[in-house]
């Protein structure tokens, strides 16, 4: 979970860093890495490919934290108010103390509201559309507006983030070719001090680069599932399956733990999604993204194969959650 660019904006109006130049990803240069799509595709066809933003997988976590904070702080204050109402002196003797406690808690409530606003009451996701015919990249900004920039004019690199994370970033440069005017990210971040050389980021880049430079036929077979979020909100079953697919290579105990976390934060995810709007591309972008009805490469949620559930891991996760809930209740 890394929220650079969402709750704290990327730094702009700055020169490119030496590390960014050293880890630049060139549009015309092929890497010896097998492409991987990281289950991040929403739509795929010969005209354009649409990817989900890097924060989508963990949407709802901040809302869950905010709800917990509201419950703890609000519940504590209400308990004090109830205690005052049931004492002999009543609220008349405690009103100043209650008011002081409320005033002291106000900054915390403001912080909680800020955390909630970062996750809810915005867009359900911030898609990125790469049109290989017009060679344009369209990106939904976090404020709901759309950035459109030529693919060949973007500066891509594997950028370092706080806490030892790395991600693929696209920089819009000023006319001087040095100053960063805007930044967006492709695919989720990867943790680890040596992530730039040992993780899936070069593979993710090759998936995008080969689509744009060499055509859809070289990577279309890799796209097994498309996220069903283009025109609707993600359902629990598919979200659970997506999470399991994402962590499928990790040890089983870790898989169970992450799935348990997903189940716990799902109420917050549901609230974040229900209070957010589904993004709609501007008409001028849709006009240049018309898909041929006979496009052999077209893939979206309607072409997904039925989900094959890994029932053992699901049952273990469900039983584990039940045991945790029973322990807490006891």
Mean pLDDT by 10 residues, the chain (330 residues): 86 96 96 91 97 91 89 76 67 67 78 88 96 98 96 96 88 96 89 56 96 96 93 79 63 71 83 94 97 95 74 55 57
- Tell me what pLDDT residue 312 has: 54
HSE-up of 286 (CA within 13 Å, CB side)? 5
Could you tell me the pTM of the whole model? 0.84
With a CB cutoff of 8 Å and minimum separation 6, the contacts of 84 are 90, 91, 93, 94, 95, 98
Residue with tokens 């709007």: 277
Backbone angles phi, psi at 213, to 5 degrees: -95, -35
CA-angle at 256, arms to 58 and 325, nearest 5°: 90
Q: 207 is written with which tokens?
A: 């998936």
How confident is the model at residue 139, as a pLDDT? Answer: 98
Nearest of 273, 276, 6 to residue 121 by alpha carbon: 276
Contact 144, 280 (CB under 8 A): no
**8 A C-beta contact, residue 84 and residue 142:** no
Classify 138 as helix, strand or coil.
strand
> 241: closest CA among 223, 254, 228?
228
DSSP line for 232-253: SPPPHHHHHHHHHHHTTTS-HH
DSSP 8-state symbol, 87: S
**Residue 74 pLDDT:** 76
pLDDT given at position 321: 57
Looking at residue 31, what is its pLDDT?
95
| Helix, strand counts (H, E) of the chain | 9, 10
Q: Which pLDDT score, from 0 to 100, does residue 310 have?
A: 52
**86: exposed, middle or buried (C-beta count within 10 Å: 0-12, 13-18, 19+)?**
exposed
pLDDT value of residue 326:
58
d(C-alpha 144, C-alpha 178), whole Å: 27
């Amino acid at each position: 979970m890394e929220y650079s660019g969402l709750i704290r904006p990327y730094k702009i109006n700055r020169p490119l860093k030496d590390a960014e130049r050293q880890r630049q990803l060139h549009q015309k240069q092929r890497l010896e890495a097998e492409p991987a799509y990281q289950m991040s595709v929403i739509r795929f066809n010969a005209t354009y490919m649409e990817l989900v933003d890097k924060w989508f997988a963990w949407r709802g976590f901040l809302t869950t934290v905010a709800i917990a904070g509201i419950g703890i702080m609000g519940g504590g204050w209400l308990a004090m108010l109830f205690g005052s109402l049931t004492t002999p002196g009543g609220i008349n003797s405690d009103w100043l103390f209650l008011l002081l406690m409320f005033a002291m808690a106000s900054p915390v409530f403001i912080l909680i509201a800020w955390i909630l606003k970062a996750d809810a009451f915005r867009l359900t996701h911030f898609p990125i559309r790469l049109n290989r015919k017009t060679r344009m990249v369209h990106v939904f900004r976090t404020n709901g507006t759309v950035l459109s920039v030529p693919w060949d004019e973007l500066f891509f690199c594997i950028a370092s983030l706080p806490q030892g994370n790395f991600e693929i970033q696209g920089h819009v440069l000023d006319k001087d070719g040095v100053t960063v005017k805007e930044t967006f990210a492709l695919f989720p971040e990867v943790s680890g001090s040596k992530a730039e050389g040992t993780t899936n980021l070069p593979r993710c880049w090759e998936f995008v680069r080969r689509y744009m430079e060499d055509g859809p036929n070289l990577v279309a077979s890799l796209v097994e599932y498309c996220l069903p979020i283009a025109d609707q909100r993600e359902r629990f079953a598919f979200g659970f399956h997506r999470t399991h697919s994402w962590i499928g290579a990790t040890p089983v105990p870790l898989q169970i733990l992450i799935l348990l976390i997903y189940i716990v934060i799902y109420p917050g995810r549901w609230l974040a999604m229900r209070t957010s709007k589904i993004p709609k591309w501007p008409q001028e972008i849709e006009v240049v993204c018309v898909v041929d009805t006979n496009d052999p490469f077209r893939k979206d949620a309607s072409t997904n194969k039925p989900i094959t559930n890994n029932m053992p891991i699901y049952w273990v996760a469900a039983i584990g959650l039940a045991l945790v809930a029973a322990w807490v209740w006891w």
